[in-house]
């Protein structure tokens, strides 16, 4: 079976700095896959390439056999890849519900003209967008904050909002960049439940995180990046016992044994 996402010999160079170096791996549909590695290993860069924010220096990315490297981010999103951001990227002047409504952009079509004249089809669609957005907010437990400005939310809830907004695009693949960092233990537990729930509705998940307990307990497979290079890939158990992984993490936080 072809993998959902196929990454081959991916290389991303910034002014001579090699951020991602010949990385190759696959993500199969329905998996929870993790990407780990020390700070500056190139994890976020890899996500940026997959989601189209960066054009790779060389190499390929294919979603269900369709090449997507070099496509602009909105096209990648339309093909079914959604993401969250390590440093949350919210719309400061918009409410929580509006964020999720923007997430419905790809799933609705009314344009300028219909909006200007408030044609009946557009009004019907607006109501639907509203309902759908409320449903996604409820899914992450933010219904009570629907009318708050997103920037007024506590940090942990901002991360959840990013997930709701990404889910609203109905992605095939969801990329989470350090969704658990900065969360309390309780929030992390809730996040883990949410991630499982998302996987259960058929969304494949590729996540970056530094919390080894969390990563090792929820992932089906783990990819390890160090200095842009893939140094290991496999089940959590295999990766934790890999010599190169242990060496890469020496001097960093220890890999959970």
Ligand X SMILES: Nc1ncnc2c1ncn2[C@@H]1O[C@H](COP(=O)(O)OP(=O)(O)O)[C@@H](O)[C@H]1O
Interface positions with ligand X (CB under 6 A): 14, 17, 19, 37, 39-45
**Residue closer to ligand X (CB basis): 88 or 94:** 88
Give the per-residue contact string, 125-154, with another protein (x = CB under 8 A; - = no): xx--x-------------------------
Do residues 169 and 84 lie in contact, with contact meaning Cβ atoms separated by under 8 Å?
Answer: no
Q: Looking up tokens 């190169």, which residue turns up?
A: 244
Whole-angstrom CA distances from 247 to 228, 241, 242 are: 15, 11, 9
Q: Is the dihedral of CA 215, 14, 27, 141 positive or negative?
A: positive
Strands in 77-158 per DSSP E: 81-83
**Residue closer to ligand X (CB basis): 10 or 150:** 10
Of the chain, the end-to-end C-alpha distance in Å amounts to: 33
- Reduced to 3 DSSP states, what percent helix, strand and coil does the chain have, rounded to the nearest 5? 40, 25, 35
User: Which one of the spans 30-38, 54-62, 80-88, 204-212 is the region binding another protein (CB under 8 A)?
Assistant: 80-88
Binds another protein by CB under 8 A, chosen from 8, 13, 29, 53:
53
Give the per-residue contact string, 55-94, with Mg ion (x = CB under 5 A; - = no): -------------------------------x--------
Q: How far is the CB of 122 from another protein (least distance, A)?
A: 7
Q: If we measure between CA atoms, which residue out of 135, 132, 109, 131 comes closest to residue 121?
A: 109
The answer to whether 159 contacts another protein (rule: CB under 8 A) is no
Q: Find which of Mg ion, ligand X, another protein, none residue 21 binds, CB within 5 to 8 Å per kind.
A: none
Do residues 99 and 165 lie in contact, with contact meaning Cβ atoms separated by under 8 Å?
Answer: yes
Cα–Cα distance, 81 to 209 (Å, whole number):
19
Q: Find which of Mg ion, ligand X, another protein, none residue 140 binds, CB within 5 to 8 Å per kind.
A: none
User: In the complex, which residues of this chain contact another protein (CB under 8 A)?
Assistant: 51-53, 72-74, 77-78, 82-83, 85, 89-94, 98, 101-106, 108, 110-112, 114-118, 122-123, 125-126, 129, 165-166, 168-169
């Amino acid at each position: 079976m072809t993998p959902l996402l196929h990454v081959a010999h991916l290389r991303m160079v910034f002014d001579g700095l090699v951020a991602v170096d010949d990385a190759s791996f696959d993500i199969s549909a329905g998996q929870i896959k993790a990407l780990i590695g020390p700070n500056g290993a190139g994890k976020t860069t890899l996500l940026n390439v997959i989601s189209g924010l960066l054009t790779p220096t060389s190499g390929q990315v294919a979603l269900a056999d369709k090449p997507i490297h070099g496509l602009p981010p909105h096209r990648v999103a339309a093909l079914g890849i959604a993401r969250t951001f390590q440093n949350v990227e919210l719309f400061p002047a918009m409410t929580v519900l509006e964020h999720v409504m923007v997430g419905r952009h790809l799933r609705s079509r009314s344009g300028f003209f219909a909006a200007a004249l408030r044609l009946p089809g557009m009004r019907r669609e607006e109501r639907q967008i509203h309902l759908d957005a409320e449903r996604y907010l409820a899914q992450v437990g933010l219904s009570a904050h629907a009318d708050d400005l997103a920037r007024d939310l506590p940090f942990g809830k901002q991360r959840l909002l990013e997930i709701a907004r990404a889910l609203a695009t109905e992605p095939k693949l969801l990329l989470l960049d350090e969704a658990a960092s900065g969360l309390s233990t309780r929030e992390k537990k809730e996040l883990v439940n949410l991630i499982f729930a998302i996987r259960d509705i058929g969304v494949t998940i590729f996540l970056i995180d530094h919390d080894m307990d969390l990563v090792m307990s929820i992932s089906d497979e783990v990819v390890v990046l160090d200095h842009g290079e893939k140094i290991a890939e496999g089940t959590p158990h295999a990766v934790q016992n890999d010599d190169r992984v242990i060496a890469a993490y020496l001097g960093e936080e220890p890999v959970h044994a």
